[in-house]
A and B are shown apart, each in its own frame.
Chain A
Amino acid sequence: MRLRKLAYNYPDSTGHFGPYGGIYVAETLMGALDELRAAYEHYSVDPEFKAEFAYELKHYVGRPSPIYHARHWSQKLGGAQIYLKREDLNHTGAHKVNNTVGQALLAKRMGKPRVIAETGAGQHGVATATVAARYGMECVVYMGAEDVKRQATNVYRMKLLGATVVPVESGSKTLKDALNEAMRDWVTNIENTFYIIGTVAGPHPYPMMVRDFNSVVSKECVVQMPELAGRQPDAVIACVGGGSNAMGIFHSYIEVPGVQLIGVEAAGSGLASGQHAAALTAGKPGVLHGNRTYLLQDGNGQIIETHSISAGLDYPGVGPEHAWLKDSGRAQYVAIEDSEALQAFHDLCHYEGIIPALESSHALAYAAKIAPTMGHDKVLLVNLSGRGDKDMATVARVSGIEL
């Protein structure tokens, strides 16, 4: 089927999405980024690289992931039909592995035997440790000490896969501090180390490269939706922390008119409480972690501590392409509170027999909010970006249950 398309060609050659993105790093990293950019430019169009990536996604990750019509839940909500892109069924249980397979294959071709990563919820760390084991690479994962406590199972998982997990004690001891520490490792060990960034943020070419590797998600949806629903969706909904699962499911739809794109941020205890992680909804543009984007910061330009029930959304920035999609009006960004996400989490368990990740539950909660206001013939496509097994302890704790 042929899609009518809008023109969209970002980033530019220097990594800018409008005013956002770019390369804001210390001189010590410039050489490594030049090397990475050249390698990615070369291999991203190399037929052999593309074939190996496709093979790995099919046979190791288990792609294509299905789309599932959540009939029962849609019926209960009494409005639009909700379809779920089942990234939770991937090997390792989330979309993150699409990107780590891609970057690991690139690292291999660049002759880097050691990979490092930062992780929040632990999903990206697990996905990195997984591919490091698969391709025989040394793996070091940096994780905020606070997150190490919150996600003990994922820490153990990474260790089983042969990775070294380094708890980061500086700053707020969460994802942003892990990212700082990984950058420091990279600067120091630049010759033999490839830094596998887990989201569509950081200096160019990372936002573009991570998006490209994850865009397999929307490439599949564009084909699957007409087969299953008879047409493309009215809206595509995804949660946004750094924003990689959202860019993955948005990307092929950016150029398709009539498909609304909705990113859902974490409103934590409520936007008014100040305890949230909604950079696009409540932040201001600035520069952090190698790119210009929306940031949660105080009036003096210091980055402020964020809160979300889901560690994977607990980040004060957001990928620069989302900043651009927001300003250009092509996507809309909303925020969902912890309590609303939890409700959607329980509802999906109850009505569909699917335990979603708390991150993805934010996207589900927004779908549940708007579906009843829409007609039965309307179609919502939600990225079920990960499964909730890792969140058992968190959900039990807030429900007052001891496991």
Chain B
Amino acid sequence: MSRIQPTFEKLKQRGGKALIPFITAGDPNPQLTVSLMHALVEAGADIIEIGVPFSDPMADGPTIQRSSERALKHGIALHDVLDMVAKFRTTDASTPVVLMGYGNPIEAMGWERFAVRCEQVGVDGVLTVDFPPEESHEAFGHLHRHGVDPIFLLAPTTSDERITQVAKVARGYVYYVSLKGVTGAGHLDLSAIAQKIPHIQQYIGLPIGVGFGIRDAETARAVSKLCDGVVVGSRIVQEIEDSNEEVVITNVARLVKELRLAINQV
């Protein structure tokens, strides 16, 4: 069973908002990924999103694309990412883990085998950026059967009709993209988010996380007021890129703590 819903329920009881940091598996090197995951949790992460590296990350900006390229240089494949989650689970049985990436590596493994492996190693949710609900009934059926939540993106341009379609297959939470663009871009429009979130809530009962373009503690705090969780990706990946390996864990932990404190002030 997925750990995502219980996590949001607990947060709701104490009036808290979820902090959802993103790192790419294998970046800066495969030996550090599990330690980074634990450091994220200690610094205050409620859910962890793990990027599965892909050769052609069309929806990502340059920061996350470079992290994907660094991971691929280490030869990281989907089965390695699953092994990392298994290792993480040996000492953390409770923090939800969501895999985020593109469909083709999963296609190559086969959706059923992937869903089985996710259940075995303790993956709670899967977000395949380029697989909309219309194309993927069979794929998401496999995830449902193995207790893995399919997570979907919603965009400022998503029509009500499509929100309804997403509502039928989505589990766990939905991920609202806070701007028109790729991951890591700027120009976040808070008033637009404030309008859109209640609108989405009319159609979908799930918690709503907001991401794309959250680059500092102040923005994280402002956004967290409007939704159930804040996803921070490019800013953390940038920190990983800018830090040498001896201090990367310390630096990432410091950043996530800042975000945590900011969100707690809400």
Contacts and interface: CB of A to CB of B under 8 A. Distances in A.
A170 B132 contact: no
Contacts of B130: 24-26, 287, 290
A26 B129 contact: yes
B185 A188 contact: yes
Contacts of A24: 103, 130-132, 135
Contacts of A288: 56, 104
B158 interface: yes
B49 to A, nearest CB: 15
A30 B104 contact: no
Interface string B42-81: 0000000000001111110110011001001000011100
Interface string B146-161: 0000001111011100
A30 B55 contact: no
Contacts of B141: none
Contact of A289 (B56, B78, B109): B56
Contacts of B62: 170
A188 to B, nearest CB: 4
Interface string A385-401: 00000000000000000
Contacts of B72: 302
Given A14-B134, A290-B130, A301 B104 contact: yes
A4 to B, nearest CB: 36
Given A30-B157, A188-B185, A287-B130, A300 B59 contact: no
Contacts of B16: none
B180 interface: yes
Contacts of A171: 55-56, 69
B104 A180 contact: no
Contacts of B55: 171, 302-304
Contact of B78 (A184, A188, A295, A301): A301
Contacts of B132: 23-25, 27, 30
B57 A180 contact: yes
A188 B180 contact: yes
Contacts of B109: 300-301
Contact of A190 (B69, B108, B157, B162): B157
A286 interface: yes
Contacts of A23: 132, 134-135
A25 B129 CA distance: 7
A301 B105 contact: yes
Contact of A30 (B66, B69, B107, B158): B158
B182 interface: yes
Most buried by B among A188, A286, A292, A302: A302
Contacts, number: 119
B104 A31 contact: no
B116 interface: no
A187 interface: yes
Contact of B108 (A25, A183, A297): A297
Contacts of B181: 28, 184, 187-188
B217 to A, nearest CB: 25
Given A24-B132, A25-B130, A289 B108 contact: no
B107 A26 contact: no
A300 B77 CA distance: 6
B177 A28 contact: yes
A180 B65 CA distance: 11
Contacts of A329: none
A177 B79 CA distance: 25
B182 A302 contact: no
Contact of B56 (A25, A34, A180, A292): A180
A47 interface: no
A12 to B, nearest CB: 12
Interface in B122-177: 129-132, 134-135, 152-155, 157-159, 162, 177
Interface string A160-201: 000000000011000011001001100110100000000000
A295 B104 contact: yes
Residue from A27, A171, A184, A297 whose CB has the most chain B CB atoms within 10 Å: A27
A353 interface: no
A398 B71 CA distance: 36
Nearest to B136: A24
A22 B135 contact: yes
A24 B154 CA distance: 15
A229 to B, nearest CB: 44
Which of B55, B102, B131: most chain A CB closer than 10 A?
B55
Interface string B181-220: 1100100000000000000000000000000000000000
5 contacts: A24-B132, A171-B55, A187-B182, A287-B131, A301-B105
Nearest 6 A/B pairs, CB to CB? A301-B108, A31-B157, A301-B105, A300-B77, A26-B59, A27-B153
Given A24-B103, A31-B155, A292-B135, 18 more contacts: A14-B134, A24-B135, A26-B58, A26-B155, A27-B162, A28-B181, A30-B132, A30-B155, A31-B157, A31-B158, A170-B62, A171-B56, A187-B182, A286-B108, A288-B56, A297-B108, A302-B77, A302-B104
